[in-house]
Structure 1
Amino acid sequence: MKTSQMIARYKWYEIVGIYAGIAIFLAFVLAPFIEGFLVSLKPLGLLFSSPYRFWPENGSFRAYVTMWQSVPGFGWYIFNSFFISSVVTVIVLVLVVPAAYAFARFDFRGSGPLLGAFLAVNMFSGAVLLIPLFRLMRSFGVLNTYFAMIVPGVAFLIPSAIWLLRTYMMRIPRELDEAAFVDGASYFYTLRRVILPIAMPGITVVAITTFIGAYAQQFIFALTFNSKTEYMPLPVGLFAYFGRQEVVWNELMAASFVGITPAMILIFLMQRYLVAGLTAGAVKQ
């Protein structure tokens, strides 16, 4: 059904209410980003001026130039965040795809409690497990390395990825597997040649959400398990910016917006696949 046909089913005041609700929702979601961007344009002396002005007076993009000198190693911080998130995403996909297929197709003993345990992992904050994880990382000798941030990221993102991809694979008809088995295909061959091509929209959704999750959760692990600048991701690099006597807020906001640019570009390029995957997994095949 086309969008215009769906809208035609509502009365005018219902349409006004729908769009008003969307506008209010977007206002709450986008307001912090808009304010942060405007702060990056304001001169430092006018940030706390009274009365408050929404649009910056004498605004410029100067902070986007000076931040590269004010935050040493800023480009390297971005690379570290992108590298860590990419490695976490690849490892999660390699582990999650066969696991989700197994949970979606096989009724083995303990599958229900095991899925519940996966879900329970997401209920714990990373801060609760920092001390055990620190002792574990130290015993393996991986402190102050990329592995100290990659391994916890993988561990905390696998459960939600399994649940998401399992739900998608359960909607793929079992008749496809049965037809492949009749032709003599193994489970691995069926997964690789039959299921994976159909499940690519769902896998794309998992990849995007995993990358964003890994990009966002680096702070607490990197702050605890790493003290070397060369392995420092963007959140910790910007946090170190607060250690000075004066916080240059406009440059800090500019650095924050530049730092999230890789994730924003990824979402923009993959949004078509993201929407397709979410809508395809939302209906029964």
Structure 2
Amino acid sequence: MESRKKRMLINSLIYVLYAVVLVFFLFPLFWVLSTSLKTVPELFQTPIVWFSSDPQFENYAYIFERTQILTYLMNSFIIVASTIIISLIVAVPAAYALSRFKFKFKKAFMLFILIFQMVSPVVVAIPLYRLFVQFNLINMHWSLILVYVAIQLPFTTWFLKGFFDTIPQALDEAAKIDGCSRLQMIWKVLIPVSTPGIASASILVGVLSWSQFVIPFILLDDSALYPVSVGLINLQSTAEAITTHYLAAASMIAILPVIILFVALQKYIVGALTSGAVKE
């Protein structure tokens, strides 16, 4: 009886902790959504208006009609999609080599990759700007994509290496017996069975790249080239106008593609996280 009460108490505390974490992450999203549907007087009304009695969906219409939000979204899509594709093209063979091959200083090399992942983009932003100015690489999407790839590649390689470790090497041997080359083995055997891990890596790289602010803010001067994370700063309130509700509406539009991507591919994330739970 005592053990049952103790177990119920522990479960109750766990669910309370879950609820606290859920509120911690969902409340900012709710507040931005609420702000995006308010009028200007409701922004400063006391007591606080948690949700407008007359939601102003016109705020969203204003964003689409009077701003470059669609251009910003398209720029972000091009940059993020290119970053994901190039990162995977480089990271998949690199992760396979680290997972399957034994060579001298392998642990040191992996530690070196991890150290690179620990370096914040903010640290290298100013030197990177000076270098890009010197080589006339400012205001170019492809140069920004290369920087994104360099930032995301260590994490992508490390993540995929851990996933490839869970795949039995017996599959490699079977592919060799069937006459597959190393490249064919990766393309025809490893990639199909690694779909959950590759999809999870793609989502994480996409989310991190979509939310990147410092690098594009420094390397891009032309507003027509801005990704959505940088384009949003044009909607900040000024002394002449209060645009907090418009900024909130644009923010909701900006995060919508990431939410859709996550929901659509969540089954692959679960598969990647549980793939190594049981080893034969």
Same fold (TM over 0.5): yes
Paired residue for 2:279, among 272, 281, 284? 284
Q: Partner of 2:49: helix, strand, or coil?
A: coil
The equivalent residue for 1:15 is 11
Report whether the alignment pairs 1:256 with 2:251.
yes
Task: Judge conservation of contact 2:40–2:242 (CA < 8 Å) in 1.
Answer: no
Task: Judge conservation of contact 1:149–1:225 (CA < 8 Å) in 2.
Answer: yes
**Counterpart amino acid of residue 17 in structure 1:** L
Report whether the alignment pairs 1:60 with 2:48.
no
Task: Judge conservation of contact 2:95–2:164 (CA < 8 Å) in 1.
Answer: yes
CA distance in 2: counterparts of 1:110 and 1:133, whole angstroms: 29
C-alpha change, 1:272 and 1:83, in structure 2 (3 Å) is: same
CA distance in 2: counterparts of 1:214 and 1:259, whole angstroms: 13
User: 1:76-119: per-residue Cα shift (whole Å, max 9, x none)?
Assistant: 01111111111100000100000000000001122222211111
Paired residue for 2:70, among 46, 62, 75? 75
C-alpha change, 1:190 and 1:235, in structure 2 (3 Å) is: same
User: 1:174-199: per-residue Cα shift (whole Å, max 9, x none)?
Assistant: 12212323444322222122211111
5+ residue gaps, structure 2? none
CA distance in 2: counterparts of 1:210 and 1:284, whole angstroms: 27
Task: Judge conservation of contact 2:237–2:244 (CA < 8 Å) in 1.
Answer: no
Moved more, 195-204 or 128-137: 128-137
* Aligned-residue offset at 1:140: 3.7
The equivalent residue for 2:88 is 93
- The CA RMSD over aligned residues, in Å, is 1.9
CA distance in 2: counterparts of 1:243 and 1:147, whole angstroms: 32
Paired residue for 1:143, among 132, 138, 144? 138
Task: Judge conservation of contact 2:199–2:269 (CA < 8 Å) in 1.
Answer: yes
TM-score by length of 2: 0.92
Task: Judge conservation of contact 2:83–2:148 (CA < 8 Å) in 1.
Answer: yes
* Aligned-residue offset at 1:148: 2.9
Q: Partner of 2:118: helix, strand, or coil?
A: coil
Report whether the alignment pairs 1:238 with 2:246.
no
Q: How many matched pairs?
A: 275
CA distance in 2: counterparts of 1:113 and 1:137, whole angstroms: 31
Task: Judge conservation of contact 2:95–2:161 (CA < 8 Å) in 1.
Answer: yes
TM-score by length of 1: 0.90
CA distance in 2: counterparts of 1:30 and 1:65, whole angstroms: 25
Paired residue for 1:39, among 35, 38, 44? 35
Task: Judge conservation of contact 1:96–1:161 (CA < 8 Å) in 2.
Answer: yes
CA distance in 2: counterparts of 1:142 and 1:284, whole angstroms: 48
* Aligned-residue offset at 1:243: 6.7
**Counterpart amino acid of residue 253 in structure 1:** A
* Aligned-residue offset at 1:271: 1.1
Report whether the alignment pairs 1:121 with 2:105.
no
* Aligned-residue offset at 1:26: 0.1
5+ residue gaps, structure 1? 1-7
CA distance in 1: counterparts of 2:228 and 2:276, whole angstroms: 33
Paired residue for 2:25, among 23, 29, 32? 29
